[in-house]
Each structure stands twice: as structure tokens, then as C-alpha cells.
Amino acid sequence: MDGENSTRDPVGSGEVGSGGEGAWHPSRKTLLRAALAAGMAAPLGLMGVPALARTLTESGRLPEPTPECDDGDDPTPPQMEGPYFKPNSPRRISLVDSGTPGTRLTVSGYVFGLACRPLANVLLDFWQADVNGAYDNVGFRFRGHQFTDARGAFTLSTIVPGLYPGRTRHLHVKLQAPGRPVLTTQLYFPNEPRNNTDALFDPRLLMSVRDAGGARQAAFDFVLNVPQGPGPSPTGSPTTTPPGGTWVVGTSYPAGARATYGGRGYLCLQNHVAQPGWEPPSVPALWRAE
């Protein structure tokens, strides 16, 4: 989980360690993030707690990772949903078009489990205020969901949200790994004056943000409370064979479709392809019992 911007190096490839002034001790999760970003495979010796740095030491060799895999982090902390969440958001990675007012913002990162391995097919549902601090409660402006890819990565294109009374700038998000509970939380911007007066603000949820030619780029890595045993698989654990019904793994379900599972009917809320772990009772973001 990314924290205060001041504790990270400029490219997010390491952290300031505790072994002396200026000592750099990249964690296994940090090295994994760099490897994923570079599209590289982890060394066999670190399968299950992968590594590979984007930055080499002066000798040209990879620096040794710290012993701990999770940077000492707990899972990403939850926060309240607030009054403006709406289900059935469209599946998309961009919440803006060419005419959308506001400072462009790109948020990217990875979703990890407790063993610091990436989680594929995690549902992320984002919603936020517009440039004036207003939420669209009629349509779906600045609302959308997506899934992490095979590397556990996600990218969101949006704008910097506006302010409204009582709150600092923030983004809302719900995450759900296949077959796991939903995490509802919020992401914050560093150096915002209202961070000091917002009762909900949590510094553990600060994104790393930098300016990029009139736009802004942010990074945040989520850690979900998903147990991960030894082995290279980053996905959730498959569930057992469905106990009867018309729901079938591999089927493409459009919004509005109906299926049965375990003797009960369900209405599909969002377009998706069924997969192990997304059984209708387990994913209220995708299915509603009828």
C-alpha cells in the first residue's frame, strides 16, 4: 500500500530504509511492482514473493530485497461508502472525454494479496465528484468499473475532483477479488489543505501524485485481505462446481440477463464474462438476487 509521498523515491522504485541515512532497501512488493511495470519475469528464487528492480545498483546487480514481503503494511484500510454510491456503473477505464472540464488525472497501480502476489480479475468500481464538487446521482458521470489484468494492474483516466463542504479531495472505490468480500475505501491527494480538517482523512490512503505537463499522475497499490499460499498463481481460488442452475463459467452475460444458481434466480447488473469466483451469490456488484 502506498503511503506518504515523501517516503518514496521519485519513480516509486524503492523506499528510504531504516538501516542508516540514505540507505535504500527495496521491499519485495516494491521490486515486484517494478518488475510488473517493466513486463519482466521474477527470478525463480523469489517465486511466490517476486522481485526484480527497475533500478540496478552501481555494480549492475539487482539490490537485495528486504526480508519482509509486505513492507510492514496491513491490508488497505476500509472507509465509509458515503451517500453517493450507485450500482450498475458502466465498465470503462476512462471517465472523461475531450470536452470534460477539469485537470486530467491518471491513477494507476496494482492489487496485491497478503503474500504480495498480484491479484488478477479484481473488480474496481470508482466514483467521484466533478470539477465543481458535485456527484451525478441521475446518470453515471465520473462513475465506472474495471477489472485488474493478469498482472494485477489497473489504470483509471479521470479528473482531479472538486471540493465540497466538509471534505478534502478524494476518490471512492470498491474492490472485490473473486469470491472474496468487498473492500470499500477512499483515496486522497497529498499536500491538500483540507487534509488537516477532514475527519475521514487517513494518511495511509494517500496516493503518490506528480505533475505531468498540465495533467497529474497518481499511483496507489492496494493490498487486499486475500490469503495466498506458495506458488506462482496470482488469481483467486476457484470455487466448487455450481450446485445446479443456468449460470456457467465462460459465458458472456450482458446487463439485464438472468441466470439461476443454487436454486435461486439472479439479475445481471454489469456486462462481464463469468469465471470461477464470480458465482452470483459472491458478487453483489455483478448479480442481484430476485
Model confidence pLDDT, tens digit, residues 145-176: 999 999 999 999 999 999 999 999 999 999 99
CA 166 to chain CA mean position, Å = 26
Count of CB atoms situated within 10 Å of the CB of 62:
17
65-114 confidence digits (pLDDT tens): 433 344 445 799 999 999 999 999 999 999 999 899 999 999 999 999 99
Q: Which helix (H) or strand (E) holds 259?
A: strand 258-261
- CA gap 267, 281 in Å, rounded: 11
Whether the Cβ atoms of residue 228 and residue 236 lie closer than 8 Å to each other: no
71 compared with 217, residue with greater pLDDT = 217
Q: Are strands 258-261 and 264-268 parallel, antiparallel or unpaired?
A: antiparallel
State which amino acid sits at residue 85: F
Lowest mean pLDDT across 46-55, 78-87, 228-237: 46-55
- Find the length of the chain: 290
Between the alpha carbon of residue 239 and those of residues 179, 235, 277, 284, the distances in Å are: 8, 12, 6, 17
As a whole number, mean pLDDT of residues 251-257 equals 87
